[in-house]
A and B are shown apart, each in its own frame.
Chain A
Amino acid sequence: MNDPQGPPSGAGRPSVDERRSAHARQLIRDRFGDALDSEDVEALIPYVVQILIRSQKLAARVSLPSTDSRTAI
């Protein structure tokens, strides 16, 4: 997937894929810390990226209005 805001060559600003991977890497490190070695972290990234992409699609597809006034934000 190309970054719509970035140069088509991929040089300069990171692509969407690179940003997503970096985000996933950070989430994995935050969650698991030293429990996973760097090889495991890199192998896990594609799986976490899939979940992040799905999360974005879900948020765009389904709104979550609260029906309970006590918990409405």
Chain B
Amino acid sequence: MIGGVTFRSISETAPLVESGEISPVDLVERVLDRIATLDPLLQSYISVFEEEALAGARLAAREIADGCYRGPLHGIPLAVKDNVAVAGYPTTNGSALWADHVTDFDAEVVARLRRAGAIILGKNNMHEWGMGGTCKDMYFGTVRNPWDVARIPGGSSGGSAAAVSSGLAWGAIGTDGWGSIRTPASYCGVVGLMPTHGLVSRYGELPATSSWHHTIGPITRTVRDAAIMLDVIAGYDPKDPTSSHSGLDGSCGDRLGRGIGGLRLGIPSSFFFDDALSEVKSVVHEAARVFEGLGATLEEVDLSTFYDIPLALAAAQHESQSVLLPYALARPDAFATPEIRYRVLAGEFVSASDHRRGMQVRNEIRAEIDQVFERVDVMLTPCNSTPAFHIDADRVEIGGGRLVDLGQPGGQSRLTTRLTLPWNLVGVPAISIPSGRYVDGLPVGLQMATRCLREPLLMGVAAAYEAAAGGYRPPPSPTFGEYQPG
């Protein structure tokens, strides 16, 4: 077991809490100490609820001592991205504009976590309004990657991934519209799950939209922990008009450990490796061989339909931006980076015809991917073409020695969302897990996707790889001195 209780997984910690070997109060006190020590550097939290977390921990300890154990999240400290409402606290979206935007209600996911006994530690820093993948130069500070504090953590759920990676929470809630859970999970060496659209209620994700490509999901240190959280937060919610009545066929946690013999695993022959560094390509192909060794059969799959994604984005790009237009005109100084403001303003020039045509392209892509998932059970791809890049980088080298100019429109998203966005547009679940391989000492995420509502299968496959070859490791930086291998 990895040393240092704050680096333990939820599934390792829960039995200790249930048995009384560790008190939730002890967990909260230790993690608050770590946050106080490390977060001035990492800036992964916007707000920390010390008193409420300690009070919650004392209550959980009493309940458990009285024999009222609620399950594996009881007494476990978790964090929430700051675009998800927690009653009585600001939901800032990482923006100066909403710095004092206090909500009087919990998001449905927060309410469900509380009912399961989880302790809400605080709200995580993020790329403002969820509109970027770096978390750099934000109003509440630049979030730093625990693996190398000179690098970005990814985004937009960058604070959540950095906190989980560095032992500042046992798990976190993120949101994912273009890859905002999976990319930071990949860059920070943790697990990030984007569930099927509609499976997890978005009531309380702010600003409220009718978007068809946004989801809420868990960021954790292990696949089993993601399954534990998903089993709690999934399910129909009448308060969310986009919530689905169709649920999962059984518990995700129950599916883990059953083996993957006979699994049909798809490897893309196009699109996903176009920009990838050769080392990243090797990581994915090595992972495919691991799956083969576990009994899977491999099939190369043509995903060239994804080259049309830039066209489909006409139907996805500007909904939340329309919410922000009044701010973009009246409060230009209130955007942390000018790029976001210009993207908001540019949203005014997407026509209704473009939107309709974009939807048609998206539907064509979905139909093709439906066919793909007739032939294979799970697609295996890289999550990003490179590991996390430097905070101060102007250009980043991708495969073939080419350079991506981060100052150009679309430059950052080419690195942070190009390989994750396709599954948002299709609407299927996708997960990023640590590959167990490192490039320049940085973690590389493997992404897997499957058809709608097959999260139990997806997580079973991810857990099989995790057990065989991958898995979370605490960041090796001397800053993280609690780490004791073995």
Q: How far is the CA of A47 from the CA of B310 in the complex (A)?
A: 14
The stretch among A1-9, A11-19, A56-64 that forms the contact with chain B is A56-64
Contact of B349 among A31, A36, A64 (CB under 8 A): A31
With beta carbons under 8 angstroms apart, the residue of B314, B354, B409 that contacts A47 is: B409
Judge whether A62 and B342 touch: CB under 8 Å. no
Residue A44 CB within 8 A of the other chain: yes
CB-CB under 8 A from B195, the residues of chain A are none
Question: Chain A CB within 10 Å — which of B313, B342, B346, B358 has the most?
Answer: B346
Contacts of B338 in A (CB 8 A): 43
**Alpha-carbon gap, A36 to B353, bound state (A):** 26
CB-CB < 8 A to A38: which residues of B?
Answer: none
CA distance A27 to B349 in the complex (A): 8
Which interface residue of B311, B329, B350 has the most chain A CB atoms within 10 A?
A: B311
Is B479 in the interface zone, CB < 8 Å from A?
A: no
The answer on a CB contact under 8 Å between A31 and B348 is: yes
Contact among B311, B346, B408 with A57 in the assembled complex (CB-CB below 8 Å)? B311
User: Within 8 Å of chain A (Cβ to Cβ): is B62?
Assistant: no
Instruction: Using CB atoms, name the residue of chain A closest to B350.
Output: A51
Residues of A within 8 A of B213 (CB): none
User: B209 within 8 Å of A by Cβ?
Assistant: no
Would you call B409 and A58 a contact (CB within 8 A)?
A: no
B345 within 8 A of A: yes
Assess whether B348 is in contact with A47, with CB atoms less than 8 Å apart: no
Contact of B345 among A32, A50, A55, A62 (CB under 8 A): A32
Assess the A51–B358 pair: CB atoms within 8 A. Answer: no
Q: Mark B332-359, 1 if CB is under 8 A from A, else 0.
A: 1000001000110110111101101110
Decide yes or no whether A40 CB sits under 8 A from chain B. yes
> Given that A35-B329, A47-B409, A61-B361 are contacting pairs, would A54 and B354 also be in contact in the complex, using a CB cutoff of 8 Å?
yes
- The answer on a CB contact under 8 Å between A50 and B329 is no
**Are B345 and A44 in touch, CB under 8 angstroms?**
yes
B349 touches A54 (CB 8 A): no
Q: Is the CB of B348 within 8 A of A43?
A: no
Say yes or no for B410: interface residue by CB 8 A criterion. yes
Of listed B311, B332, B342, B357, residue having the most chain A CB within 10 A: B357
Judged by a CB distance under 8 angstroms, whether B210 is at the interface is no
- The A interface, classified by DSSP as helix, strand, loop or mixed, is helix
B362 CB to closest chain A CB (Å) equals 11
Answer whether A44 and B346 are a contact pair too, CB < 8 Å, given A58-B357, A58-B361, A64-B357: yes
Which among A31, A46, A64 is the interface contact of B409 at CB below 8 angstroms?
A46
A44 & B357 in contact (Cβ 8 Å cutoff): no
> With A46-B409, A50-B409, A52-B349 given, is the CB distance from A58 to B343 under 8 Å?
no
* B360 lies within 8 A of chain A by Cβ: yes
Tell me the bound Cα distance from A17 to B311 in angstroms: 20
- Chain A residues, CB < 8 A from B348: 31-32
For B353, the closest partner residue in chain A by CB is: A64
Contacts of A43 in B (CB 8 A): 338, 342
Contacts of A21-41 to chain B: CB distance below 8 A: 27, 31-32, 35-36, 40
Partner of B354, one of A32, A48, A58: A58
The answer for the CA separation of A40 and B333 in the assembled complex, in Å, is 12
Cβ-defined contact, A54 with B314, below 8 A: yes
CB pair B357 A32 closer than 8 Å: no
Highest count of chain B CB atoms <10 Å: which of A47, A57, A61, A64: A47
Taking a contact as CB atoms under 8 Å apart, the answer to whether A58 and B358 are in contact is: yes
Q: How far is the CB of B272 from chain A (nearest CB, A)?
A: 22
Kindly provide the distance from the CB of A23 to the nearest chain B CB, expressed in whole angstroms.
11
Min C-beta distance of A7 to chain B, whole Å: 27
Flag if A36 contacts B345 (CB, 8 Å). Answer: yes
A-facing residues in B281-336 (Cβ within 8 Å): 308, 310-311, 313-314, 329, 332
CA distance A61 to B359 in the complex (A): 12
* Nearest A-chain residue to B355, judged by Cβ: A58
Asked whether A61 lies within 8 Å of B343 as measured between CB atoms, the reply is: no
For residue A24, give the distance in angstroms from its CB to the closest CB of chain B. 8
Residue in B closest to A35 when the chains form the complex, CB atoms: B329
Complexed CA–CA distance, A32 and B346 (Å): 11
B410 / chain A contacts, CB cutoff of 8 Å: 50
**Are B346 and A58 in touch, CB under 8 angstroms?**
no
Instruction: From the candidates B342, B353, B361, name the one contacting A44 in the complex (CB within 8 A).
Output: B342
Q: Using known A-B contacts A46-B409, A51-B350, A64-B356, determine if residue A58 contacts B311 with beta carbons closer than 8 Å.
A: yes
7 contacts between A and B (CB under 8 A): A31-B348, A32-B345, A54-B310, A54-B313, A58-B361, A59-B357, A61-B308
9 tightest Cβ-Cβ pairs between the two chains A and B: A47-B346, A62-B357, A58-B357, A51-B349, A47-B342, A62-B360, A55-B354, A44-B342, A48-B349
Chain A residues with CB under 8 Å of chain B are 27, 31-32, 35-36, 40, 43-44, 46-48, 50-52, 54-55, 57-59, 61-62, 64
